[in-house]
Chains A and B, each alone.
Chain A
């Protein structure tokens, strides 16, 4: 047994792809060797910007030899049978063995040398590697993330020979691009990391990450500052360096006028620098950059160069910032009339108009408690920062910039905060109103023009907008009828473009939007462990569009069906529903006729609504209750239980005490089980049959008052 070393040396691999590449390398190696039957010990993968490295411990010398015996025809065999068997096994007649009058083919498969399996594995890895984007170079046809230059492949101290598109494996690699010139010959997995370290390459990315984390913190501490640690930056810098050295630099204090978010963002995304804070917690005029060399002058020139680059960027930002302060947000907002939001949905100014109306509606109807004028003001200024120079440069800071500018021009705190937090999930009522209005408008506006997400296509990020809305509603416990809000938002847009056709479509579009919300809610709640079928069961009631109450129902339901009582009741429900379905039973005559008229039945309607004749009313009421002609004790018991459970459940639902409603329904479990055990529904007497079916229907409908149990799985 020996250790296997593989190094794939290339030009610089994008930092963001290195973690995925390590996983892919380990996976492909394990797949190929195990498919070939080559046993290996633990597999370890490492990376630098220029290399992907795999070390597999304890690789077997060869795969196991195997012997296979295939039973053939009896001997002497008819010619066709014999020929078929020889063809199948690829042997000649004289190679077959005969035992007890039966022919056998014995096939010996010798073990494959590890080197051969590994060479084939390397070929597979290179040809099948799942790079997010790959390229060709020179006049070759090989594809890799960037040009591939070398393969080190060694089993123990021996080279595993393989050639791929002119690249021949060997024991030789290169060191740091600038600190070491010429080839390095490695002895194998055992000395690879040490040899490279001596040539200024730290192969282990975790080591480099540690060096950066510690080095950056030390550099900051050395200047009496604290590092704003950013793990994403640590990993990214480790993916950009083979010999990381953290260096601290300073920038001119005058740039601290620029919002902190802007400085941190430009340092992080444009320059990959860490930010530092002073002892008072404020941003310090300093940065930590990570160089890829131990510079001959100790890093002085590097720090100076980086300082100048940062100064140019911050000067740009400061220029925009000063310009932006000169124009009040309400003036900027006017420019939104010149920006098309979507060709069929008008300008951003029109969108702002809709958000303002909807946000105001949210507070005026009591969904949120805030000053309606402030909410409307915030909504009207919310998108103004989109035309500022700063957001032009840093689109990620939309909202944040508007918040700062609003504060600077003396807007009330609630207004500035609502502008700042409009893209997040704020809990301040005014902020939540604007944030929710914006998203509802986006979703409804696009649905209104038939632009709904399909499959993987969601060009307007409506799914994210829906999830954002759900988080705002559920997170803040907002009691809102989604149907009303959706209809309001749809009507807003229809009214704006005076489009009578879309106003007509509203009745069709509103349920589509609600279904879309239901789907998103299921996705969003899946992570919290909420069953999607239970959400369906509650949505299927058709009347439930208050997400807070809906989730309370779903949670109570989920707890209930997990209990023995709940599971039993569900079983009984399904049995009842199946019988009703099989019998095509839609209830007493009066109700059937309603169904024929196409009136939707939810099980909650009053069956008497259409009955005018007073005498008939009583008869039918009795029929509907299932009471008429009940003679068996189990029937009577079920009726008594229903009489008791129905009002209790109804009262609990009224109080939004869904656990209470379930507990009330649980009282039906014993009587319904008894009913099924002792009562024949399909009685030869049509009257009995009818009244028993009616009783089952009453039971089903009682349960359905909480949720449509037919949607529940299991």
Chain B
């Protein structure tokens, strides 16, 4: 029988743990992508070697579909691996992980398709691919070139697996809510369907936009206070918070096209400030 959702995670943990990665737990804050975790953003800066793997819950309020779309979720999981410096055999290591979770590369068509990565809110970019398995994007594979406006030296290799997609593929399931979460009869839908319905309702209809605007301002101010106190980690947390509040405001449709750029710029400045403080502290 193919891997359950939780066994998929456990298999990846074992595999990357054996490659010298520290297996971290999800960061206890709301964020839009596993990349935002300080174990990726902050640790990709500076000269020290670093290897880590972790699951991160990703919240993308605009992608919520009230549990009605079989492929789209406002809350889902990414499996994130970072290796600094990126080893020469990173592609082979990655392909090894696919074999480990049951994808035979002589039966399934694995492809590295150009996809440059850029995060305007993190002031970061890198080159790499989206990895396709039989035409489906299963992983984002990136060599970081810049983070927070700083050159990455050495370069961090980042692998981001879309866990639900991968599991759907392995289990041969067309609806995310039908995924076997474990082998004891619990489905993904049993755990998360109600969550999707309620969170979509909240994000699109209920969230108090005035309170959110206020929260954004406060997080930004707090971030700057932390920067003033040379505390990069708390400053970075406030930047993450501001970023998520901005995402929720977007879902509520209260940010105009023109303002959007200004908000992204504001978050980028906060994140960059935190990265600068981190670099100064490390130096």
CB within 8 Å of B: which residues of A? 11-12, 14-16, 49, 133, 135-139, 145-147, 149, 177-179, 240-241, 271, 273, 289, 291-293, 295-297, 301-302, 304-306, 308-312, 315-316, 319, 339-340, 343
Contacts and interface: CB of A to CB of B under 8 A. Distances in A.
6 tightest A-B CB contacts, nearest first: A305-B134, A14-B114, A139-B154, A12-B112, A306-B135, A291-B109
Given A11-B112, A296-B107, A138 B88 contact: yes
Given A11-B112, A139-B155, A343 B258 contact: yes
B86 A309 contact: no
Contacts of B91: 11
B107 A312 contact: no
Contacts of B116: 133
A133 B107 contact: no
A15 B129 CA distance: 11
Contacts of A14: 114
Given A137-B86, A139-B153, 20 more contacts: A135-B126, A135-B143, A136-B152, A138-B86, A138-B87, A139-B85, A147-B88, A178-B106, A178-B110, A179-B106, A271-B135, A289-B135, A292-B109, A295-B108, A296-B104, A302-B108, A304-B134, A305-B109, A306-B136, A309-B136
B117 to A, nearest CB: 11
Nearest to B151: A136
Interface of B: 69-71, 85-88, 91, 95, 104-114, 116, 126-129, 133-136, 143, 145, 152-155, 157, 169, 174, 256-258
Contacts of A297: 107
A328 B134 CA distance: 38
Given A139-B155, A147-B143, A178-B110, A308 B174 contact: yes
Contacts of A301: 107-108, 134
14 contacts: A14-B114, A16-B114, A135-B145, A138-B155, A149-B88, A177-B110, A296-B104, A296-B107, A301-B134, A305-B133, A306-B136, A308-B136, A312-B70, A316-B69
Contacts of A147: 86, 88, 143
A152 B193 CA distance: 55
Nearest to B113: A240
A12 B129 contact: yes
A295 B109 contact: yes
Given A301-B107, A305-B108, A137 B143 contact: yes
Contacts of A138: 85-88, 154-155
Given A12-B112, A138-B88, A312-B70, A305 B135 contact: yes
Residue of A311, A312, A315, A339 with most chain B CB atoms under a 10 A cut-off: A312
Contacts of A139: 85, 153-155
A15 B114 contact: yes
B107 A295 contact: yes
B135 A178 contact: no
B125 to A, nearest CB: 10
A177 B99 CA distance: 14
B108 A340 contact: no
Contacts of A149: 88
B2 to A, nearest CB: 13
Contacts of B257: 339-340
B112 to A, nearest CB: 4
B101 to A, nearest CB: 15
A304 B107 CA distance: 11
Nearest to A305: B134
Contacts of A302: 107-109, 134
A591 to B, nearest CB: 55
A311 B135 CA distance: 12
Nearest to B126: A135
By CB atoms of chain A within 10 A, which of B86, B109, B136 has the most?
B109
A339 B91 CA distance: 44
B55 to A, nearest CB: 23
Contact of B155 (A137, A271, A305): A137
B126 A312 contact: no
Contacts of B134: 301-302, 304-306, 309
A493 to B, nearest CB: 19
B147 to A, nearest CB: 13
A138 B145 CA distance: 11
A136 B143 CA distance: 8
Contacts of B110: 177-178, 292
B274 to A, nearest CB: 24
A136 B145 contact: yes
B135 A293 contact: no
Nearest to A298: B107
Nearest to B154: A139
Contacts of B95: 177
Contacts of A316: 69, 71
A640 to B, nearest CB: 70
A103 B241 CA distance: 83
Contacts of B114: 12, 14-16
A704 to B, nearest CB: 50
A249 to B, nearest CB: 9
A178 B105 contact: yes
A276 B124 CA distance: 41
A310 to B, nearest CB: 7
A420 B69 CA distance: 30
Nearest to A241: B111
A178 B70 CA distance: 32
Contacts of A178: 105-106, 110
B175 to A, nearest CB: 10
A339 B114 CA distance: 33
A598 B153 CA distance: 67
Contacts of A343: 258
B41 to A, nearest CB: 19
Contacts of A11: 91, 112
Contacts of B69: 316, 319
A273 B137 CA distance: 15
Contacts of A273: 135
Nearest to A249: B135
A312 B108 CA distance: 19
A319 B112 CA distance: 30
A293 B109 contact: yes
A334 to B, nearest CB: 16
Contact of A310 (B70, B135, B169): B135
Contacts of B152: 136
A15 B111 CA distance: 12
Given A178-B105, A293-B106, A305 B127 contact: no
Contacts of A12: 112-114, 129
A301 B172 CA distance: 11
A147 B157 CA distance: 11
A682 to B, nearest CB: 67
Contact of B106 (A16, A295, A306, A340): A295
B127 A133 contact: yes
B86 A305 contact: no
A49 B135 contact: no
A309 B107 contact: no
A271 B126 CA distance: 23
A273 B135 CA distance: 9
Given A138-B85, A240-B111, A310-B135, A146 B127 contact: yes
A14 B155 CA distance: 20
A305 B169 contact: yes
Contacts of B153: 136, 139
A319 B128 CA distance: 32
Contact of A312 (B71, B87, B154): B71
A300 to B, nearest CB: 9
A276 B257 CA distance: 39
Contacts of B155: 135-139
Contacts of B88: 138, 147, 149
